[in-house]
Amino acid sequence: MFPVIYFNKKVINPESMKFLFTLMIFCGTLLANSTYSYCQNSWELVWSEEFDGDELNTEIWNYWYGPAYNNELQFYTGREENIFLKNDKLHIRALDDGYRGYDYTSARISTDSTRIGWKEGRFEARIKMPEGNGFWPAFWLMPIRDDGWPKGGEIDIMEYRGNETRTTTGALHYWIEDCDGNPVECREYQTSSHTVDGKPLSEEFNIYALEWEGDKLTWYLNDHQFMQVSLSDLETEFEPFSTPFYIILNLAVGGDFLPNPDETTPFPSDLVVDYVRVYQRP
C-alpha cells in the first residue's frame, strides 16, 4: 500500500519545486487509480482496516447474530459461508440457504460499539456492490452513546439498492425537536442520492466517503460531492452527533428500502470491501 501524504500550505522556495512537481505527479497517478484519499490536503490517517489477514480481527470487529429491522428477510450469521477474507478483501455473502426459519442469510459487522469510534473526520471505504433485486448493502455510523435510536443520531454514508446499480444514497437520522411519540414517529431524516453515468457500481470498486468537520457533514462518491448537511440547521432533541460513532458494514436482503428478491436475483452474491479508513485533521 502507498503511504499517506498530507501537507499544510506554506511558502515553497525554488529548491522545493522539484519535490512539489514529483508529488503532484504521484497524486495525479493515485487519483487516476481511484486512490483519491491519499492526496487529500491536511487529512491524516488515524485508523484503517485493510482486510489483509486470513480472518477477521474479532478484537476490532463484532458480528451481529440474528434478524434485524425494516422488515428485512435475512438472518445474520458469523459463519464462513457468509463472511470471509479473500485476496485482501472482505466478502459479505448473501445466500438463499434457508436457516433458522429464514429464507436468506448474510452478515453484519461493526467496530466495537463500546470503545472503537470517532467524532469528526473523514470516513471512507472502497467497495464493490452486488447486483440484483433485494440486495441492500450499507456502510454507516452509529453513536457509542446508546440512548436508544435515533436519539444519538445515525449517519448512513452509503446505502444502495441492488436493482438500481448506478445509484448510491446518503442519509442522516435524528429525533426531531419537541416530539413525544415513539422512535418511528419522532425520527426525522435528511437524504440525497447520486447516480453515476459510467459503469454500474456493481462492476468496479468505488470510494464512498463522509467528511465530518465541526457541524458540517459532506458525502462523496469518489471525488463527487452529492450531499451536505449543517447540524446547526437541524431541529433536534437529545443532542445527537455529540459523541464518537462506530462503523457498521452489512448486506441486508429485502426490506422496506427496495423490492424483495425474486427469481432473477442471483445467489450467492457478495458485497466486497477493499478497505475502511478513518482520517482526521492533524
Determine the Cα–Cα distance for residues 282 and 275; give it in Å rounded to an integer.
22
Active site residue 81: no
Q: How many residues does the chain have?
A: 282
Q: Which of 49, 72, 124, 159 is catalytic?
A: 159
Q: Which of 80, 154, 204, 239 is catalytic?
A: 154
Closest to 127 measured CA to CA, from 201, 31, 210, 211: 201
Strands 245-253 and 269-280: unpaired
Active site residue 211: no
Determine the Cα–Cα distance for residues 170 and 163; give it in Å rounded to an integer.
17
Grid-cell match 482486510, residue found: 51
Helix (H, G, I), strand (E, B) or coil at 24: helix
Q: Report residue 249: phi and psi, to 5°.
A: -125, 130
Decide: 138 and 158 in contact? Cβ < 8 Å: yes
**Cα angle for residues 156, 48, 282 (degrees, 5° grid):** 90
Helix (H, G, I), strand (E, B) or coil at 32: helix
Decide: 154 and 280 in contact? Cβ < 8 Å: no
β-strand partners of 90: 85, 273
Decide: 94 and 165 in contact? Cβ < 8 Å: no
Q: What are the catalytic residues?
A: 154, 159
